[in-house]
Amino acid sequence: MSIPTPLTVALVGNPNVGKTTLFNQLTGLQQRVANFPGVTVERKSGSLTHSPHIEIVDLPGTYSLTPRSLDEQIAYEVLVGRRGKSPDLVVCVVDAGNLERNLYVVSQVIDIGLRVIIALNMTDAAEENGLIVDVSTLENELCVPVVPMVASKGEGVDHLIEKILNHGDQAQPYRWTLMDAVDAKIPDLTNILTEEAPQVKPEHKRMEVLRALAEDEALDGWRPQSPNFVKRIEELRQEFTDRGVAWKHAEISGRYAWLGQIVNKSVERVRGPATMSDRIDSVLTHKFFGPLLFVIILAGIFQAVFSWATPAMDLIESGVSAIATAIQSVLPPSWATDLLTDGVITGVGNVVVFFPQILLLFFFLGLMEDTGYMARTAFIMDRVMKRVGLSGGSVLPLLSSYACAIPGIMAARTLDSERDRLITIMIAPLMSCSARLPVYTLFIAAFIPAGAFFGILGYQGLTMFSMYIMGTVMAFVAAAILKRFIFKGPDSYFVMELPPYRRPRLRQVFVRMIQRTKVFALRAGKIILGCSIVLWFLASYPKVDSTAEINQAIIEAEQQRDTTLAQALVSNTDVNLNTLNDSVATKDKSLEHQQVIAQQNDQDHQSVIDSLIIIQQSAQIRGSAIGHLGRILEPVMQPLGFDWKISAGLISAFAAREVIISTLSIIYSVEEDEEGVALRDAILADQYPDGRPVFTPLVALSLLVFFVFALQCMSTLAIARRETNTWKWPIVMWLYMTGLAYLASLLVYQGGLFLGFS
């Protein structure tokens, strides 16, 4: 048996032709697939199932080997060997329904001397559109193997693998004709290039010459190193212009002329194209119904996310508290048990409660992506984006930021203007991501009544929708400001392919939903688990010794049975009597109080003592490390309506937004000394020492607004650093968003107070 030689196979082709679908079939992996151009934005690799020596590389889609955006640049660099070795074999994935345009980049790949196999994909859709491709004619014309397939159903994949394993020779490059006037000049230019830039591989020379001739950017790239080459090309351009030679499009026209003939010979139209997709479009992008449906769809999604998830959330909530209670009853009381129940289970569990909502959100986003509606939103929104200086191309990264800003920021790579890309990165974190969802839900469920307008438009869902709108509108405003003052320049272009609508593949949507949730859970899980443990220690230590004060207070209260102190305490705490009695009975530290209670049956006395326990417990939490931290911040946060607990929560949320849920629940559970109190109820019950509620609807609103705008996510900063290659933009981003959050909350709270709300 011969030792298998390692082989690298790259998947190349236009955007949205099924490269990743095929990649997943070949490798058994689950990379992201969706029905709009520009889904894959980085190089992904995996090995062919059962053949570990064959590496399959998935690449971003590209229309040509003249990259015009960052994602295309990556595909280009891999192909020409600027990112490691050039691939040994290229599988060019083409859409059988649109051969001419798809073969353009294939002909370029053949020309730079790469071995090519054509995967003729989407033959099912082509047939529906009345197109039949004659595979053998195509093979003969192009002189490369052609494998017809339906990647989404796995048809033809085995045949392709066979061809990969027995790949033949390389096809002869440059079989198309370049116009004579230009062709005549190529040898001369190639020679100059060889002298000035000996590092250019022989098989790339002709491509480089043609590119430098046609494109100013390409030409500028040669300026420092190859002045004579540049000079010669500039002279030639002038000469051609004088002679009336269409030099700019020489290559493109030459290739298309050749491809046109090939396609004429090998494609047969048996029937007119299907019209389903057009009919759907005439509704979804209708002048009037289009935008209306867009808003209805989005509002519907948030409504559904809010209401459909409730049963599952309730279930998880009771599950979590049951677990905490069970552990507490099984394990001996110790600090470790407290850490487990009050810290880990409370902290993590309270976030897990929100997973059903996150799943639903991901499901709907996946549905939009898979049907092709996502691309239409770019089409509908381009006009609006133009107003703020961007283009419809930014809509896709922004919409995917509703799930998470990180893929959103990466998706900005598809934009062909670097300025647009930077602006999009800077505003993407203003789109409400799934990590804000738990925070929104918690406070909306606590403070917004459950009713509905006309029985369908739930108040809670609408409030949530308005949070998303608020973030989105602010993103537009920020874009306009950035464009006007920082990234000045002319308007962007908008050139986008609109894919046909496709029936969503539910399996695909589900797989994607689970995957996104897993990523979310793993990231959040690590941060939340870590934070919860740290937070529990911060909330429980240092131990405050308040015995002396309490004893003192008991004596005083005894002495002045009817004094005002006692009465004040009594009136404050009547409500808590029962719960406190229970906890008193179970806790060591209340032993002495129990004795006191036993001695004195007087009701007043009991209340006095109960209130003393409250004093002791809140002294503990206030005296803990987190209490100190929170109270340092309190003066700064007071104007926004936040007490020290919320302030502490906000600070912890800068690690990741969901952590505020953990912080609040840990603070409350350490303080309450009781398991299983729903966080929502604890929030509603919390009071200042003078009896005012800590959370009022106005405070909740102020907090929500803070979360809409604040950039509280380390991962976003890290990814922005990677994508912009400098710390400058992430820092600017953090400062402007945090500043915005503070000001907006200040405005809401102070404005609310001024208007007489409390």
Ligand X SMILES: Nc1nc2c(ncn2[C@@H]2O[C@H](COP(=O)(O)OP(=O)(O)OP(=O)(O)O)[C@@H](O)[C@H]2O)c(=O)[nH]1
Quick one: DSSP state of residue 245?
Answer: -
Q: Which long-range contacts (CB under 8 A, 24 or more apart) does 269-278 make?
A: 269/130, 269/131, 269/132, 270/130, 270/131, 270/132, 271/130, 272/130, 273/129, 273/130, 274/128, 274/129, 274/130, 276/501, 277/372, 277/500, 277/501
Q: d(Cα 21, Cα 15) in Å, to the nearest integer?
A: 12
Which residue, among 32, 10, 9, 13, has the nearest Cα to 21 in the 3D structure? 32
Residue 655 C-beta: closest distance to Mg ion, Å = 32
Pairing between strand 51-58 and 44-48? antiparallel
**Nearer Cβ to another protein (246/315):** 246
User: Contacts with ligand X: how many residues (CB under 6 A)?
Assistant: 26
- Binding of residue 150 to ligand X (CB under 6 A): yes
Q: Which of 43, 248, 622, 721 binds another protein (CB under 8 A)?
A: 248
Structure tokens at 686: 């919390």
Residue 507 C-beta: closest distance to Mg ion, Å = 17
Q: Which of 24, 66, 441, 716 binds another protein (CB under 8 A)?
A: 66
Q: Which of 174, 459, 494, 729 binds another protein (CB under 8 A)?
A: 494
Q: Which of 13, 87, 148, 392 binds another protein (CB under 8 A)?
A: 392
- Binding of residue 97 to ligand X (CB under 6 A): no
CA distances from residue 462 to 412, 453, 626, 741 in whole angstroms, order as listed: 29, 10, 35, 21
Residue whose pair of structure tokens reads 């050749």 in the numeric block: 258
Contact partner, 145, from Mg ion, ligand X, another protein, none, Cβ < 5-8 Å per class: none
CA distances from residue 190 to 203, 212, 758 in whole angstroms, order as listed: 11, 11, 77
Contact partner, 18, from another protein, ligand X, Mg ion, none, Cβ < 5-8 Å per class: ligand X
- Binding of residue 39 to ligand X (CB under 6 A): yes
**Nearer Cβ to ligand X (45/594):** 45
DSSP H helices, 11-83, are 19-27, 70-79
Let me know the angle formed at the C-alpha of 129 by 128 and 130, rounded to the nearest 5 degrees: 90
Please report, as a single letter, which amino acid is at residue 756: G
Structure tokens at 500: 């046909």
Q: Which of 135, 181, 498, 565 binds another protein (CB under 8 A)?
A: 498
Q: d(Cα 96, Cα 121) in Å, to the nearest integer?
A: 6
Q: d(Cα 209, Cα 570) in Å, to the nearest integer?
A: 90
Residue whose pair of structure tokens reads 């090995």 in the numeric block: 47
Q: Which one of 39-47, 519-527, 612-620, 747-755 is the stretch in contact with Mg ion (CB under 5 A)?
A: 39-47
**Nearer Cβ to ligand X (68/593):** 68
- Binding of residue 643 to another protein (CB under 8 A): no
Residue 38 C-beta: closest distance to ligand X, Å = 5
- Binding of residue 127 to another protein (CB under 8 A): no
Residue 130 C-beta: closest distance to ligand X, Å = 15
Residue 699 C-beta: closest distance to ligand X, Å = 45
- Binding of residue 15 to ligand X (CB under 6 A): yes
Q: d(Cα 49, Cα 663) in Å, to the nearest integer?
A: 45
> How many CA atoms lie less than 13 Å away from 329 in the CB half-sphere?
7
Structure tokens at 697: 């609807």
- Binding of residue 532 to ligand X (CB under 6 A): no
Q: Which one of 12-20, 387-395, 534-542, 612-620 is the stretch in contact with ligand X (CB under 6 A)?
A: 12-20
Binding mask 357-376 for ligand X (x = CB under 6 A): -------------x------
Residue 35 C-beta: closest distance to ligand X, Å = 3
Residue 257 C-beta: closest distance to another protein, Å = 9
Q: Which of 10, 116, 118, 122 binds ligand X (CB under 6 A)?
A: 122
**Nearer Cβ to ligand X (98/341):** 98
- Binding of residue 40 to Mg ion (CB under 5 A): yes
Name the residues that contact ligand X, by CB under 6 A.
15-21, 33-35, 37-40, 60-61, 121-122, 124-125, 150-152, 370, 502, 505
